[in-house]
Chains A and B, each alone.
Chain A
Amino acid sequence: MSNLLAKGRLARWSGVAGTSLATLTMMAAPVLAATAEHGGEHAKGGLPQLNPGTFPTQIFWLALTFGALYYLLSKKALPVVAQVLEERQERISRDLSKAASLKEEAEAVMATVDKAMADARAQAQAVIAETVAAFEAENQAKQSALNTQIADRLREAETRIAAAKEQALANVRGEAVGIVREIASKLAGIDADPAQAEAAVAAVMEERR
């Protein structure tokens, strides 16, 4: 709106300027008319612009040139300019949209790459976890197998020790019976009954245990 006003003012201003200039010239004209008399070939005087005799030729040639120019410009020249400008605009927007689609494509590729990376990482993690679990399970199994083996051997050794101990004790008892009978025969001259001696040894051993 203010734009329109400004243009209106511009037009009015230039109109005023032009009119005042024209007035000034009109006032100056008589002063110079004196000098003009030397030239004097067009003694008709007055403004050439106000000579109606020149109107037909000017109107005729104006109509001809302006009409021809309008026809040529509107039918031939201006459509070419419009077409060139349009093509340029089209080319620019096409290139822009092409760039945008390429960017989108690149982003999609980036996304797939990112996804593949994440997948690979997750897979690696899973493989590691699986391997660790497998190793742990194996370890556990080996450990327990070892443990039972150790326990078995221990038990075996214990029974062996116990048997050896029993054996040793039995040997000791037999020896003790023999020693008791010998001592009895040597000291008291008594040929002690083996069963009696054995019972005595057993009693003593039972006491000492």
Chain B
Amino acid sequence: MDPLHQFQINPIMQLVIAGYDVSFSNSALFMVVAALLVYGLLVHGMKARALVPGRLQSLAEMFYEFVAGMVRENAGHDAKPYFPFVFTLFMFILFGNMLGMIPYTFTFTSHIIVTFALALTVFVFVTVLALIKHGLHFFSFFMPHGAPVALAPILIPIEVISYVMRPVSLSIRLFANMMAGHTMLKVFAGFTVLMIGGLGSVGFLAGLVPIAINIALTGFEFLVAFLQAYVFSILTCLYIRDALELH
């Protein structure tokens, strides 16, 4: 009945490396499943290499062109080498979110440490990219063009903080959305159980109300699952553009 029980990490196979507990858990299982599904879809879908694609190939190509368009539009043409990174991010998060919509599965994107690690990867990647592209000139990014020099003592800390906060906002947005949605579903489902348990046959009727809400919430959750994967990768694209263009 605990709505937070679903976020519990349960080890499946004990594993300790260098003193750290890195057991293969339910979270790890669904990471592996998501990765396998993404890779399987692309490899199996593209197996035919058909000129006129079938269903799976169409799906694989659709994902490819969707992300390629997103990178082209939001990160610019120079960002082409970073397309595989954005594609992997988008597909991994999307499949993680969507797998979580199946009952009894585990949503690994509902854990802050996972989303934060992903966001930190993006942050480090983008910062290293900017440093390689622009060298020390990268630090001019923190002083907006055309702003009066007198404002620099205020502007530079603000810009630095907002830059450093990027991985935080990026990770919390995804984690909070996924956790909140799944908790809400569980909370409303719990209401039904409580009503039936406490009110008997009246509760059986009254219990239909949370179920109706849950149906609507499930639809909403599918939207959120897609939207958050989209938002995460589109923000990554925008950060890549910032790193490439520095404006």
Q: Name A residues whose Cβ lies closer than 8 Å to a Cβ of B.
A: 3-4, 7, 10-11, 14-15, 17-19, 21-22, 24-25, 28-29, 32-33, 35-36, 38-39, 42, 47-51, 53-66, 68-70, 72-74, 76-78, 80-85, 87-88, 91
| Chain A to chain B contacts (Cβ below 8 Å), 15 pairs | A17-B177, A29-B3, A29-B4, A35-B1, A38-B1, A48-B4, A51-B9, A54-B113, A61-B28, A69-B38, A69-B39, A73-B91, A76-B43, A77-B42, A87-B49
Grouping DSSP codes into helix (H, G, I), strand (E, B) and loop, the A interface class, with mixed when no group exceeds half, is: helix
Q: Interface residue count for B (Cβ, 8 Å)?
A: 75
Give the distance in Å from the alpha carbon of A73 to the alpha carbon of B181 in the complex: 30
Question: Across the interface, do A14 and B4 meet the contact criterion of CB distance under 8 Å?
Answer: no
Residues of A within 8 A of B208 (CB): none
B25 interface contact, C-beta 8 A: yes
Chain B 217-229, CB-CB to A under 8 Å as 1, else 0, gives 0000000100110
Residues of B within 8 A of A53 (CB): 21
Question: Across the interface, do B84 and A35 meet the contact criterion of CB distance under 8 Å?
Answer: no
Point out the residue from A18, A57, A68, A74 that lies within 8 Å of B35, measured CB to CB.
A68
Nearest CB in chain A: distance from B107 CB, A: 11
Point out the residue from B3, B51, B110 that lies within 8 Å of A49, measured CB to CB.
B110
Given contacts A68-B35, A81-B61, contact A21 B4 (CB under 8 A): no
Closest-by-CB residue of A relative to B50 is A84
Question: Across the interface, do A70 and B84 meet the contact criterion of CB distance under 8 Å?
Answer: yes
Question: Across the interface, do B2 and A39 meet the contact criterion of CB distance under 8 Å?
Answer: yes
Grouping DSSP codes into helix (H, G, I), strand (E, B) and loop, the B interface class, with mixed when no group exceeds half, is: helix
Give the distance in Å from the alpha carbon of A39 to the alpha carbon of B8 in the complex: 13
Which B28-75 residues sit within 8 Å CB-CB of chain A? 28, 31-32, 34-35, 38-39, 42-43, 46, 49-51, 57, 60-61, 64-65, 73-74
Question: Across the interface, do B28 and A11 meet the contact criterion of CB distance under 8 Å?
Answer: no
B123 interface contact, C-beta 8 A: no
Point out the residue from B27, B57, B74, B87 that lies within 8 Å of A73, measured CB to CB.
B87
Chain B 105-148, CB-CB to A under 8 Å as 1, else 0, gives 00010111110011001000000000000000000000000000
Residues of A within 8 A of B228 (CB): 14, 18
Give the distance in Å from the alpha carbon of A57 to the alpha carbon of B32 in the complex: 13
Task: Report the 6 A-B pairs with minimum CB-CB distance, sorted nearest first.
Answer: A21-B180, A74-B84, A18-B177, A61-B28, A36-B2, A77-B42
Point out the residue from B5, B83, B234 that lies within 8 Å of A7, measured CB to CB.
B234
For A33, A70, A77, A81, which residue has the most chain B Cβ atoms within 10 angstroms?
A: A77
Residues of A within 8 A of B92 (CB): 65-66, 69
Nearest CB in chain A: distance from B91 CB, A: 8
Nearest CB in chain B: distance from A90 CB, A: 11
Nearest CB in chain B: distance from A39 CB, A: 5
Residues of A within 8 A of B22 (CB): 56-57, 60-61
Given contacts A32-B1, A77-B42, contact A58 B173 (CB under 8 A): no
Question: Across the interface, do B24 and A61 meet the contact criterion of CB distance under 8 Å?
Answer: yes
Give the distance in Å from the alpha carbon of A26 to the alpha carbon of B15 in the complex: 33
B203 interface contact, C-beta 8 A: no
Give the distance in Å from the alpha carbon of A21 to the alpha carbon of B121 in the complex: 26
Closest-by-CB residue of A relative to B64 is A81
Residues of A within 8 A of B60 (CB): 81
